Structure 1
């Protein structure tokens, strides 16, 4: 199999889009927007008949996972779309995957983790020891629900529990629709548990066990293509621009990327609602 840029290929072309790392939030928000653009680019390529979505992600923010999921569904209305699960395609990674009509996973892929999580640090005691006092002025009793400088009240907890339960319902519905499963069957495993690829196949979350190239072969078959596939990756326009602009300053670019990754990890731990495997 050969790789190429989208404009240089000929013959049976199979597009590849990577969904890797934490999805959305903070610095990762730019990556989410890039993925959406890549999906649309392939959707508009009339000569491209099949696309493999390669997912290797623990999930991430709810909104970003849903945005990618919905765009993949639209792509599947125009092209043959197959998901290839890598080492990890859990929680939000699974949410994205189920938008693909066909899913291929390795037997040892870690997937599942159907659930929603929201965590809030409580630094009240620490603040008191440091002599820090925070005064809050708010317009409603739930406006500061999750405030790290006070204990969570039963009402706060019920409020957040309602949010995560509502979001879980959206997750269950997406999986049930994407995999053509009864919602009750999905809810039976929607307790946050992680499944191997082999277990996921038994549960109906995966169609076939295999690696990335098995997914490429399945996409080729579904699209009725013949011959050796040419793998088409979207051009990294921003990367090329930086390369031309920065010249020999590759080290500085690498440092900037590392900083963004660290910031993304920090953002993922901030209060919010996440499709994220723990």
Structure 2
């Protein structure tokens, strides 16, 4: 028993010492970081042609015997040499495909990386090239997805073809982004549409009154607040709030119609959603195909590059993000859906 007590005491001292060392190291790193300028992020570029080639070669090595594999490699070498001569003579006329990814949350946080990726590719891309955006988003805050859409509009304004690939969902603010594409390609069962606006919030004013708690809302400006969580809401405030929603919806409809004039906008801007096959009939998309199928086809005739802008984070930032990431997603999603935010 005395041994266990001594061991527990030793273990506690060891853990305390380790924690103290870690705290000191983090403090030193933090102090050093304050005197430095942030290095920003870095643009990562991966040639997807090599990725697809590697997949094929790995399968060939597993399935073919040595003689057949050797013969195949010789044939591929001849073809590669022949293609290299053709490529060299037509290099100036060969276009490139730039692939971007957007995985959208409520706040459209991926916009921060996408804006840098677009800025980078616009310095080199021409009308002979193509930008492919693999888009996944169920929508979110109006101003956040408005900015994301404006970033994509830069590509169209530069005269560069923009293809939007949707494998799972592009609804609400996600479809607002998708409609900017020169062409929209969707998987057969992807979710599309939801061209509408929603806002909701709880009101606990009656509960406060029940417990004799007063809550006052003071404003300068008649419509500085229309509906609130704690204050007593009025019919006039509700009418104004609904009017704001209607105006936002009208702007949404006009935006979509300007990029896809072939749509019967009043028919599809009801807030409904459609699966890919039905969305094709509504002309919400132009073709049914997965992004994998489309990009593997393009890789046969063009150089395909995947662009990803990654922020460089310090040690304390990485530790903090790991600890708070899950909590932030849960709390932000829950509270944003309850408060007076407007969502596409």
* TM-score with structure 1 setting the length: 0.80
Larger radius of gyration: 2
Please tell me whether residue 21 in structure 1 is matched to residue 89 in structure 2. no
Unaligned stretches of 5+ in structure 2? Answer: 1-42, 50-93
Deviation digits for residues 216-274 of structure 1, max 9, x if unmatched?
Answer: 367x4xxxx863643312231x1xx23xx429x96654223223323431453221221
Paired residue for 1:188?
Answer: 267
Contact kept, 8 Å, 1:84 with 1:104, in 2: the verdict is: yes
Contact kept, 8 Å, 2:113 with 2:309, in 1: the verdict is: no
CA distance in 1 between counterparts of 2:309 and 2:172 reads 28
Distance 1:115 1:8, change over 3 A: closer
Distance 1:46 1:107, change over 3 A: closer
CA distance in 1 between counterparts of 2:336 and 2:328 reads 12
Aligned ranges 1:1-278 → 2 under 5 Å: 5-6=44-45, 13-24=96-107, 29=109, 31-46=110-125, 49-78=129-158, 79-181=160-262, 185-216=264-295, 220=298, 227=301, 229-236=303-310, 238=311, 241-242=312-313, 245-246=314-315, 253-269=321-337, 270-275=339-344
Deviation digits for residues 14-46 of structure 1, max 9, x if unmatched?
Answer: 22222213242xxx55x3232222222222234
SS in 1 for 2:140: strand
Distance 1:86 1:151, change over 3 A: farther
Deviation digits for residues 40-77 of structure 1, max 9, x if unmatched?
Answer: 22222348922111111110111221222122122123
How many residues matched?
255
Q: Which runs of 4+ in 1 moved over 4 A?
A: 7-13, 249-252
